Amino acid sequence: MDVCVRDALLEYLLVGPNGAAHESLFTTPVAPSLFNTALILLGAEPGKNASWRPKEPRPSDEELMNGVSPWVVEPPTGSSFYMYVGWRQGGETYFFRMEDLLRDLSRGHGMTRHAWVYLGSRMVRGADRDDPDEQAFAADLYGNVINVSFFSEGYTVLTAALPECVEQTIWMPNAWLIPERGERVRLIVSKQRIETVSPDLAKTLPEVAPPKPLSR
């Protein structure tokens, strides 16, 4: 996958060529349905998407002005995976938990480490104007593979699973950790945590260019 957004708000982690690239940290030429198949082969079963309902009683206007959410958020649940990103640069290996590459503006902190939940996207109608009953895999149709912020449609393959992901304006890349836009890095998805990168895995990581020199 390639580095995409480095200095703007994020709603997605990974999208395809026809996805919301202007809101995604990474892009990939791999079809979402192929990525979905790989996770199924790892034993993934579709989980439950995030949901939210109004708080009862409703917070007061003063509480709302002070940032109290009017919603009760139920995070996604289901088959979960840990994600890592790796590359090589100047003879060094760089290997990060995915969350470490994301910044939570509401707390001034990196995203809390957690397991991401498998949704498996779903089939939707209306992909073919000549045949409105024709169905398509939603992630292929819309091109969005992994979301950071919650979306009620559940069209993505994987989703973040933290309550704070109900917010869509608090996520940005940790740009100082990420290679330049367009550089290729590797996504590693695992059912268990990976504490260290093995030498064999390190050999497969793509080489990226060094940072641009400072202008004078």
Q: What is the pLDDT of residues 102-121, one digit of tens each?
A: 999 998 999 999 999 999 99
Residue 130 scores a pLDDT above 80:
no
Q: Percent of the chain at pLDDT above 90?
A: 79
pLDDT at 61: 84
Judge whether 216 lies within some domain.
no
Judge whether 146 lies within some domain.
yes
Which residue type does 210 have? P
Judge whether 71 lies within some domain.
yes
163: three-class secondary structure by DSSP: helix
pTM for the model: 0.90
Cα–Cα distance measured from residue 184 to residue 158, given in angstroms and rounded to the nearest whole number: 21
pLDDT digits (tens, 9 = 90+) for 72-111: 889 999 999 999 999 999 999 999 999 999 999 998 999 9
pLDDT at 56: 86
Judge whether 160 lies within some domain.
yes
Judge whether 211 lies within some domain.
no
Judge whether 147 lies within some domain.
yes
In angstroms, the Cα distances linking 73 to 11, 66, 119 are 17, 18, 17
Judge whether 210 lies within some domain.
no
How far is CA 55 from its chain centroid? 27
Judge whether 178 lies within some domain.
yes
Using only C-alpha atoms, the chain has a radius of gyration, in whole angstroms, of 18
What is the total count of domains within the chain?
A: 1
Range of the domain at 128: 2-203
Residue 192 scores a pLDDT above 70:
yes
